[in-house]
Structure 1
Amino acid sequence: MMTTYTVREGRTLRHEGIPAPEALRDAVWIDLLNPSPEEEKAVQAALCLEIPTREEMQEIESSSRLYKEDEALFLTASFLYGVDEGEFGSTAITFVLAERSLVTVRYATPKAFALFANRVLRTPALLASPDGVMLAQFEAVVDRLADVLERIGADMDRASKSAFRNARSTKKVKVKARDADLKDVLIALGQVGEVTSRANETLLGLSRILSFVGAEKSIAVRKENKGGIKTLMRDVRSLVEHAAFLNNKANFLLDAVLGIINIDQNGIIKTFTVASVALMPPTLVASIYGMNFAAMPELQWQFGYPAALLVMVVSAVLPILYFKRKGWL
């Protein structure tokens, strides 16, 4: 789907579909979502630009993601999307920055893009220049990532409190309930790690784009927007550091939760070990008197059976008392 944004008489005009070539050349921002071959051909014919294919956008080397053709800059990065829906992922988005138009090629809709599109309709000043539109989009993405990282940090704090509260609790907690809580904590920490890694991927992609645009001497980037590039780079660096901090904290909490689980498992194994050791002497006594030898004096003794039972009980109690004295129970 093609959506064009044009400013006329101080108002933002939004058009969906393929417009006339003149209208396409007048558009400040051309947004291509899952573009059809006809839409790609229309943009290429009107702007004399080569729109990259989806396969080309998936390339990971820098020379395929950041390059210049004539005076147009081709900038590709991976962006986080779908966090609110719980089905998050990363999608490659290409920004083709020309002197008079900005073309975005994408196959998913990050929330920051949807919010920015609505904001453009209310604020036509955002469409003053193509590079200004791109930098404003990057600013919206950075603001959105900051909100995501803040929420992820809050979720991680709740998960850590839940884990350590159960670990420190002196009350008897049902095993199933405690296992369910620890499972929820592990799932939450796994999601935190996944989201922070994808957010970090987005931030690193933005950092490369901003560095490339700031160093590239192109007429598509206006002097008045150079300061905005430096500000965005500082914001991106601060978020990269915060994402790294959250990732390290998630790894620490993951190790702590796994340690709690190991302690619980060791307690269970200790219980089974004590039970098996305590049952070994009675088993030995019962095995001895289970032999079918004719010359066993105790077999003819009137108190032989209760005496054997007493020996088995005493032989089971003595190891337990010894373990308690040593502090192993």
Structure 2
Amino acid sequence: MLTFHTSVGTEGVEVDLAAAAIPPEVQWIDAFRPNRMETAFLERVLGIEVPTIEDLSSIETSSRLYVENDRIFLSMAMVYKDVGGMAETTPFGFVLSESLLLTIRFHPIRACDHVHDKAVNANRRPASGVNAFISLLEFFIDHVADQLEGLNGELDRLSHDIFGGKGALGVSGQRGGGGNKDLRLIMRRIGRSGDLTSKLDDALLGMGRMIPFVVSEAAAWLSADLVSKLKSMQRDITSLNDYETHQNNKLQFLLDATLGLTNIEQNNIFRILTVVSVVGIPPTLMASIYGMNFKNMPELEWHYGYAYGLGVIAVSALIPIVWFKVRGWW
């Protein structure tokens, strides 16, 4: 689907795919999952080869940032949520000229709708392709910042669940408020947070590479004000990278702590099994002795022999238990 955004009016314009040229008032074309006819139309009127999803997914810098036919081709990874709420990445492409911006995407990206809606509501649409590009980048950076802020809240909740409050996970295998702990759930939450962090890092890396490239290659199109905006955005990306590094360190700490609790829990289980096995040895020995059925065993003929045998077995089991309690092993 092709959406044509203009620098005037309140709505986009309809452009027939048989048209010979793009109307001059169009400054941004948003291509969402373009089909063959739409791709052929764009290639015909723009005189370019529209990048495919495979082209945009390439990880080489030379494939993500290059100039061809006086147009700047850029691509990056964008983060979106699937139907299950899991974070996924999708390639997002830009084809930039001074007067026109073409964006190519294959999944819904809210920033694209936000740029258009905000421009309509504020009655200030981007005046050129470069302005549209900068507006999109601003929303992308804000989107990543919002995701990182939400992630920080999740890490705080994880930290509280592991270390603090009545519901904190304890070494004994129970929460402070009662009930069995679920370290597997904690591990899944940490894993999802780590996955989102790595995807946001990919998005920041892509934007951080694009801005210097655009400043260098599109110098003739950029006013001093636009260059200042791009440099300010570059500083924002640097600060977000630092923040993301801090969150990565916190994630690693929470992961190490959870794995440590898992190891302690396993050691507790082994300790209990060891105590039980040791406590069972003396009674087993006594029962085995009196089960030998030798002929000359006076206790077998004794009236109180049965009670005596049970008492000896019970005492032989209690002595190790008391010993373990005194030593603090159980």
Give TM-score, length-normalised by structure 2: 0.90
Q: 1:304 is aligned with what amino acid? A: G
Q: 1:211 to 1:178 in 2, by over 3 A?
A: farther
Tell me what 2:78 maps to.
79
Quick check: 1:152–1:192 contact (8 Å CA) kept in 2? Answer: yes
Q: 1:158 to 1:98 in 2, by over 3 A?
A: same
Tell me what 2:188 maps to.
187
Tell me what 2:12 maps to.
14
Q: How does 1:290-309 map to 2 (within 5 A)?
A: 290-309=291-310
Tell me what 1:60 maps to.
59
Tell me what 1:327 maps to.
328
Cα deviation, 1:21-59, whole Å, max 9, x if unaligned, reads: 334554100010000111111111111122111111111
Tell me what 1:48 maps to.
47
Q: 1:153 & 1:117 partners in 2: Cα distance?
A: 29
Q: 2:40 is aligned with what amino acid? A: K
Q: 1:229 & 1:146 partners in 2: Cα distance?
A: 17
Q: 1:163 to 1:191 in 2, by over 3 A?
A: same
Q: How does 1:268-283 map to 2 (within 5 A)?
A: 268-283=269-284
Q: How does 1:102-121 map to 2 (within 5 A)?
A: 102-121=101-120
Tell me what 2:256 maps to.
255
Tell me what 1:317 maps to.
318
Q: 1:18 to 1:270 in 2, by over 3 A?
A: farther
Q: 1:322 is aligned with what amino acid? A: W
Q: How does 1:155-174 map to 2 (within 5 A)?
A: 155-164=154-163, 165=165, 166-167=168-169, 173=175
Partner of 2:294: helix, strand, or coil?
Answer: coil
Tell me what 2:28 maps to.
29
Tell me what 1:215 maps to.
216
Q: CA deviation at 1:195?
A: 1.1
How many residues matched?
326
Quick check: 2:7–2:128 contact (8 Å CA) kept in 1? Answer: no
Q: Which moved more, 1:77-86 or 1:136-145?
A: 77-86
Tell me what 1:245 maps to.
246
Q: CA deviation at 1:18?
A: 4.2
Tell me what 2:94 maps to.
95
State whether structure 2 residue 153 is matched by structure 1 residue 151: no
Q: 1:298 & 1:121 partners in 2: Cα distance?
A: 101
Q: CA deviation at 1:300?
A: 2.1
Q: 1:188 & 1:17 partners in 2: Cα distance?
A: 47
Q: 1:84 & 1:215 partners in 2: Cα distance?
A: 39
Quick check: 2:5–2:26 contact (8 Å CA) kept in 1? Answer: yes
Partner of 2:259: helix, strand, or coil?
Answer: helix
State whether structure 2 residue 16 is matched by structure 1 residue 4: no
Q: 1:302 to 1:205 in 2, by over 3 A?
A: same
Quick check: 1:116–1:140 contact (8 Å CA) kept in 2? Answer: yes
Q: 1:176 & 1:110 partners in 2: Cα distance?
A: 43
Q: Which moved more, 1:83-92 or 1:298-307?
A: 83-92
Quick check: 2:6–2:125 contact (8 Å CA) kept in 1? Answer: no
% identical equivalent positions: 35
Partner of 1:144: helix, strand, or coil?
Answer: helix
Quick check: 2:175–2:181 contact (8 Å CA) kept in 1? Answer: no
Give TM-score, length-normalised by structure 1: 0.90
Tell me what 1:132 maps to.
131
Q: Which moved more, 1:224-233 or 1:296-305?
A: 296-305
Task: Provide the aligned C-alpha RMSD in A.
Answer: 2.5
Quick check: 1:82–1:89 contact (8 Å CA) kept in 2? Answer: yes
Quick check: 1:203–1:240 contact (8 Å CA) kept in 2? Answer: yes
Quick check: 1:142–1:236 contact (8 Å CA) kept in 2? Answer: yes
Q: CA deviation at 1:268?
A: 2.7
Cα deviation, 1:256-293, whole Å, max 9, x if unaligned, reads: 12222332332232222211111111011111222243
Partner of 1:295: helix, strand, or coil?
Answer: coil
Partner of 1:22: helix, strand, or coil?
Answer: coil
Cα deviation, 1:139-189, whole Å, max 9, x if unaligned, reads: 10111111111111112111211222324699x759983324x44433322
Q: 1:42 & 1:86 partners in 2: Cα distance?
A: 35
Quick check: 2:169–2:181 contact (8 Å CA) kept in 1? Answer: no
Q: 2:171 & 2:267 partners in 1: Cα distance?
A: 18
Q: Which moved more, 1:188-197 or 1:233-242?
A: 188-197
State whether structure 2 residue 124 is matched by structure 1 residue 122: no
Q: 1:177 is aligned with what amino acid? A: G
Q: 1:18 to 1:252 in 2, by over 3 A?
A: farther
> Which residues of structure 1 form unaligned runs of 5+?
none
Q: 2:124 & 2:220 partners in 1: Cα distance?
A: 20
